[in-house]
Every structure is written in C-alpha cells, then in structure tokens.
Amino acid sequence: MPTSILPVDSSQPLLPGIIGMSVHTDCVYLQEINRAGHSSSSEPSISNMKLILQGMDFEQLISDIQRGHRGAAQEAVQQALSAVQRAGADFLVVTANTVGAMLEEMSEAVGVPVLDITKAVLGEAVNQGISRLGLLSTSQTAESGIYQARALEFDCIVSTPPTQIAQAIDEVIFQRLVKGILREQDAQTIIEAVSWFKDQGIEAVILGCTDMTLLMPQLKAAELPLLDSTIIHAQAAYYVATTGDLESFCVRYPA
C-alpha cells in the first residue's frame, strides 16, 4: 500500500509518487530527497517531504527482465503506476533507470508527468560543462538508447563500453548490488571501467544504474568525475515538488 510522509513545509505544491525498486537504493532516495530540504535550514529538522511510495516485487521484476518476459514486467510496472496515480501523485519518480526505459512503451498507463532521470543527469552534466560522457548501466538501459537519445537535446555525446565491460557491470548489478551486497572487487570493476572511458577521451561517467550509488564511497579512486543518477534524480524530485516546475526535468507520455 502507498504510504504518505509529512511535508517539509505547507507550501509544497506537488506530490511525488515514487515507484520503489531495490529497498537499499530506495532508502538513499528518501534520505536524499529530505536532505535536500533540510540543507536550507539552519536548524536540525525532523520534518519529511510529503510523498507517495509504492514498492514493487523487485526480485520478480528483475527475473522477468532478464528472462525476456517483457510483457510480465510491463504489467507489474503498470500496476504500480496506477496505484500511485490513484493515490493522488502529481508526478512520478521511478527509482531504476532500466524500468524508466520501459515507460514510453506503456504510455497509456502514465497519466501524469514523469521525472525523467536522463534529463536530470544530462542537465547536471551541462551545468558542469561536460559534453563527452560514458555510461555504466545495465545492458538493458544501455541498449534502450534513452541516454544517447536524450543527449542530443543537450548537445552531449554518451558512449557505452564494450561487451566485456558491460557484462562485468551487469554481474555486479544483478548478482550483488540489487541485494545490497557491497564488495571491494566490484568497486574496482567500476573504477577500471571508468579508466577505459578516460582512455577514449571521455570527460565524466554516468552511473546509470541507481543501485551503483551504494558503492560511491568506494569509488574515490575513479579517474573521472562520476554523475550519480540516484542523487541527481532525488534532488530533482525535491526541486519539482517544492517549486511546481514540471517543465525542466519532467516528460509527458505520449511525448
């Protein structure tokens, strides 16, 4: 069942509906959304943003995606989308890049704007003066082309790694990160992938799987700046909810 949390302040104009995936990463989303609100206060706060949270059976969803059961995966996502919209969400926040890539195919189930993770991440890249980006993500996200297509709107180029690196990243994500298992060797796999991008002339790397945020403390040795899609997406959710700006980072389906 969706749950509501008290608002940061009474002026919050929009109610975000969060479609939760991995519980470990969802916790980072909730923490970061509220940290964004508390950062503007000079006093410690125990207030939380008002929101709707709908969890999913992420293990089953991953199984369906990996086995190519796309119809079953879409049906599960559609049920979650319907739940948060019925509960009154003004815009949607999907806490997984891979699932976000599926939304265009189920546009009839999306009746409110969606906070687009690619717009938020690429907007941050432009703010930092970065135009040549590498993408580390699940193979499904990379192959969907959502970052590559959106990059054209921002005059950016997004490159993906070769198959060997992509497969190693998939193993890190699906075998361990989604379960909250953090290994030093997995952090090293990501660091080595970043080094490969550096050799190709890339300026920064998008961590295009939200579960990668769990390894951020272990990625300090990375040779390029890292754009953490989880943190950027969560901060954008706070921005949209508190400003009412549905144009900067949101998309409407059908687009």
Per DSSP, helices labelled H in the chain are 23-38, 58-66, 70-86, 97-100, 117-127, 139-144, 146-151, 163-175, 184-199, 229-243
CA 128, CA 204: separation in Å to the nearest integer? 10
pLDDT at 249 over 80: yes
| Side-chain-facing half-sphere of 73: CA atoms under 13 Å | 20
Q: What distance lies between CA 67 and its chain's CA centroid?
A: 22
Residue at token pair 């059961």:
69
Contact 206, 97 (CB under 8 A): no
- And the tokens for 123? 């907007």
- Spell out the residues 6+ positions from residue 236 whose beta carbon is closer than 8 angstroms to its own: 115, 120, 249
Q: How does residue 1 score in pLDDT terms, banded at 50, 70 and 90? A: very low
Structural domains in the chain, CATH included, are: 3-116+232-251 (3.40.50.1860), 118-229 (3.40.50.1860)
Residue 106 pLDDT = 81
Q: Are 101 and 140 in contact (CB under 8 A)?
A: yes
Cα pseudo-dihedral 225, 231, 236, 241, rounded to 10: -170
The pLDDT of 102-108, averaged and rounded, is 81
pLDDT at 7: 40
Angle at 249 between CA 226 and CA 100, to 5 degrees: 70
Considering the chain, what is the average pLDDT of its residues? Answer: 90
Residue that wins the pLDDT comparison between 38 and 87: 87
